[in-house]
Amino acid sequence: MRYKDIQKVLSEKSFQLSDFSAIVARGGPVAVLEPGAYRINETMVEKLMNNPLVDHASNLGGVIAFNLGKPLGIPAFIYDAVSTDQMTSIARLSGIKEISRKSLVHALNMRSVGMSCAEKMGENYNEVNFIIAHLGGGITIAVHEKGRMTDLVSDDEGPFSPERAGRLPGKDLVKMCYLHDEDAMKKKLRGQGGLVSYLGTTSTIEVEKRIKDGEEYAKLVYEAMAYQISKGICELTAVLKGKVDLVILTGGIAYSELITSWVKERVEWVAPVEIVPGEKELEALAYGALRVINGEERAREFK
């Protein structure tokens, strides 16, 4: 369906596939990867289709890009996949030997925003220390230590978000697991958690309207989300031993002056706070592919 929709849009806009130098897609949680570009090959497509790290809609991107490009020999890439992994060995330990912490993070937008903020400061991204929080339907926070994401707070380890539960008290979570089947519990954690669990909506616009109309409980829940985001940022300062050059708030929720003001007042003691609202992901994909085409960056081969 999506493949056909893309072909339809190209036709409506009077583009031919042969006009394109490359096709670049979102890199889903396909496998543990280095940052940057990977050439999409049949091995990656097989992995995306049948055995990704996590089942996620973005896994379709690489498959579609490959199928669009293959007939005409147009190179297809993914860039800064969700499963980009630069975590240190010490950061992987969870507390239970059988469970390792995983790097699943909004790498594409984070790295793009990090590079642009470093440039704005007159610095090289690979020589500064940032903590970047991506605030969206899911919330992730990562240390960017001299250009490497050495540790993070994933969307199931930290703040609740509009639709995800985030970190939960372990003993109570275990009890709940015995009351519901696996699929129901997964939905409670991802899709039915966070704002929607407390307030019945994932819309931050609606929540802010309810707060403006005087609903105290909505304000409590919304401020609690900001409170937890702040805690996630502050716990990562320990990774950098307090040597943080900049805290960056990005993603769709960073448009909210209410959320960003609450977070800022709790974390600006760490470092200056830069707010870069929205998601620069399409731009990041385009420029990533352009760097490969121009020979400024080498695309890795997926094996």
What's the half-sphere exposure (Cβ side, CA atoms, 13 Å) at 150?
17
The pLDDT score that the predictor gives to residue 172 is: 98
Pairwise CA distance, residues 69 & 61, whole Å: 12
267 close to 247: Cβ distance less than 8 angstroms: yes
Q: Which helix (DSSP H) or strand (DSSP E) does residue 300 occupy?
A: strand 300-301
CA 136 to chain centre: 8
Strand 273-277 and strand 246-251: pairing? Answer: parallel
pLDDT along the chain (303 residues), means of 10: 94 94 94 96 96 90 96 96 96 97 94 96 98 97 98 97 97 97 96 98 98 98 98 98 98 98 98 95 94 96 94
Note the pTM of the prediction, 2 decimals: 0.92
pLDDT the model gives residue 280:
84
**pLDDT given at position 70:** 95
Percent helix, strand and coil across the chain, each to the nearest 5? 45, 15, 40
Cα–Cα dist 226/135, whole Å = 10
Q: Which two tokens stand for residue 148?
A: 């490497």
Query: Which distant-in-sequence residues (6+ apart) come within 8 Å of 272 by Cβ?
Result: 246, 247
pLDDT of residue 54: 87
